[in-house]
C-alpha cells in the first residue's frame, strides 16, 4: 500500500502551496461536523464570475476527508457524488461543512455541502472513503 504523507502542498489546505486555497478546517461547536470558509478567486472560474464545478467537487471532497480525520480516521476518497444546486460566484465567501455518517469496516460514508451566507446550499456531496491506516 502507498504510504500517504502530508508535505503541506495540498491544493486545498496545504500551507506550503502558495497557489492553493490554504483553507483552515475546524470542528463545529456541539456538532460532529467540520467546517471551513472559502472564497474562490477568479482564476478558478469556469464561466465568467462562476466557480468551476470541479473546484466545488474538490473542496466538498476535502472536507469529508477532514471530517474523518477529525475523528481519528485517515482515509482517501473511493467514490464521490456531487449535486450542483446553484451557481457559485467567485470572490464571495461560502461556508463548507462535512461529517462522517457511518463506518463499515474500511469504508466510511460521509456528506458535505457548500452554502452561502444566507444558508442556501449551492452544492452538496456524498462519498465513500477508504481507510488507509
Residue whose C-alpha is closest to residue 96's, from 128, 131, 130, 55: 55
Instruction: For residue 1, name the pLDDT band (cuts at 50, 70, 90).
Output: low
Note the Cα 52 to chain centre separation in Å: 15
In a domain, 111, yes or no: yes
Domain count, the chain: 1
Q: Are 65 and 106 in contact (CB under 8 A)?
A: no
The pTM score is: 0.92
Q: Flag whether 96 is in a domain.
A: yes
Residue 6 lies in a domain: no
On the question of pLDDT at 7 being above 90, the answer is: no
Q: Would residue 62 count as lying in a domain? A: yes
Where b means 16+ CB within 10 Å and e means fewer, 32-54 reads: ebbbbebebeeeebeeeeebbee
Q: Residue 19: inside a domain, yes or no?
A: no
CATH of residue 71's domain is 3.10.129.10
pLDDT digits (tens, 9 = 90+) for 86-109: 999 999 999 999 999 999 999 999
Amino acid at each position: 500500500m502507498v504510504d500517504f504523507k502530508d508535505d503541506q502542498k495540498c491544493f486545498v489546505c496545504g500551507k506550503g502551496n502558495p497557489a492553493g486555497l490554504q483553507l483552515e478546517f475546524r470542528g463545529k461547536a456541539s456538532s460532529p461536523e467540520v467546517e471551513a470558509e472559502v472564497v474562490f478567486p477568479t482564476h478558478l472560474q469556469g464561466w465568467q464570475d462562476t466557480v468551476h464545478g470541479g473546484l466545488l467537487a474538490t473542496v466538498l471532497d476535502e472536507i469529508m476527508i477532514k471530517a474523518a480525520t477529525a475523528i481519528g480516521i485517515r482515509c482517501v476518497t473511493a467514490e464521490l457524488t456531487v449535486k450542483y444546486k446553484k451557481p457559485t460566484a467567485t470572490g464571495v465567501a461560502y461556508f463548507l461543512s462535512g461529517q462522517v455518517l457511518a463506518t463499515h469496516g474500511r469504508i466510511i460514508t460521509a456528506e458535505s455541502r457548500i452554502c452561502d451566507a444566507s444558508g442556501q446550499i449551492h452544492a452538496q456531496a456524498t462519498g465513500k472513503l477508504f481507510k488507509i491506516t
